[in-house]
Amino acid sequence: MKLVDIILTIICGEASALILADLVKEYDPYSVIKWVLLFLMPVLAIILLWAADLIAKKYKFVLQLVRYLLIGILATLIDLEIFELLAWLVGAGAGIVLVSGTFKAVSYLTAVCFKFVGNKYWVFEETSSKGIKEKFLKFIIVTFIGLLFNVGAFLYFSKIVGPQFGISEDIWIKVSVILAAIVAVVWNFLSYKFIVFKKEVPILDTEPTDSNLYPKP
C-alpha cells in the first residue's frame, strides 16, 4: 500500500468512528465506546484495505470498491454534520418535510463535491484532465439521479417508516441519513465506474503502413 492509502484510510476510519460514536452517545455517558471506536475503526480500516489490496491482484474492482466505501464514509460524516448544523440553525422548522428535504439536498450536494475529488484521484486513480468537461457533465447527471435516490430514501425512512426498534426520533433521523447514503452508494459506485470514470480502451492502429505493403527482402 502507498503512504497516501494509509493516511486516507486512517482518516476515513476515524470518520466512521465518529459516526458510530454519535449514534450511541446516549448510551455512552463516559465516552468509553467513543474512544474504543476512535482507536479500533482506523485499525480495522487499514486491515480491510490491506486485504482488498491483496485480492485486487486478481480482482482490481475490489480495491476500488473498498476505497469508494471509505471515501463514502467520510462523505457521510460531512453529509451528517452539515445536515445537523442546518437543522440546528433553523430549529423546529427541521420537522417540516419540505424543509428537511431541502437541508438533506444541501448536505448531500456538499458531500458529493468531496466525493468527486476522492473518487477521481484516489478510487479510480484518474489524474488526467482529458475530457474533464464531459466527465463533469456525466458526473452531474449521475449525481443528480443519486440525489433523487438519496433524498427520496431519507424522506421514506424518516417520515414514512418512522422510528423503529425503540430508537428515539433524533437518533432515527441520523439512521435515516445513513440508510439514504447506502442507497445512493450502490447507484453511484456502479455509475462512476462504468459511466463517469470508465477506462478508455486504446484503439489499435490497423491502417496499413509502407512496411506492411512493401516488406523488406
Render pLDDT for 170-192 as a digit per residue (tens, 0 to 9).
888 888 888 888 888 788 888 98
Q: Give the range among 83-87, 96-100, 178-182 with minimum mean pLDDT.
A: 96-100
pLDDT at 43: 93
Return the pLDDT at 40: 93
Angle, vertex CA 109, rays to CA 103 and CA 137, nearest 5: 145
Q: What's the pLDDT at 197?
A: 85
Label each residue of the chain as H, E or C. CCHHHHHHHHHHHHHHHHHHHHHCHHHCCCCHHHHHHHHHHHHHHHHHHHHHHHHCCCCHHHHHHHHHHHHHHHHHHHHHHHHHHHHHHHHHHHHCHHHHHHHHHHHHHHHHHHHHHHHHHHHCCCCCCCCHHHHHHHHHHHHHHHHHHHHHHHHHHHHHHCCCCCCCHHHHHHHHHHHHHHHHHHHHHHHHHHHHCCCCCCCCCCCCCHHHHCCCC
Confidence band, pLDDT 50/70/90 cuts, at residue 105:
confident
Q: Which three cell numbers stand for residue 174?
A: 441520523
Region of poorest pLDDT, from 12-26, 45-59, 88-102, 182-196: 88-102
Indicate if the pLDDT at residue 146 is higher than 70.
yes
Distance CA 131, CA 142 (A): 17
> Measuring CA to CA, which residue among 181, 178, 177 is closest to residue 189?
181
* pLDDT, averaged across the chain: 81
**Residues 40-82 pLDDT 10s:** 999 999 999 999 999 988 888 888 888 988 888 888 888 888 8
Position 106 confidence tier, pLDDT thresholds 50, 70, 90:
confident
Least confident range from 65-79, 86-100, 104-118, 146-160: namely 86-100
Closest CA to 118 of 163, 170, 176, 78: 78
Asked whether 41 and 13 are in contact (CB, 8 A), the reply is yes
Q: Where are the domains of the chain?
A: 3-199
Q: Is the pLDDT of residue 97 over 80?
A: no
Is 206 a residue whose pLDDT tops 60? no
- Spatial separation of the C-alpha atoms in residues 180 and 147, rounded to whole Å: 10
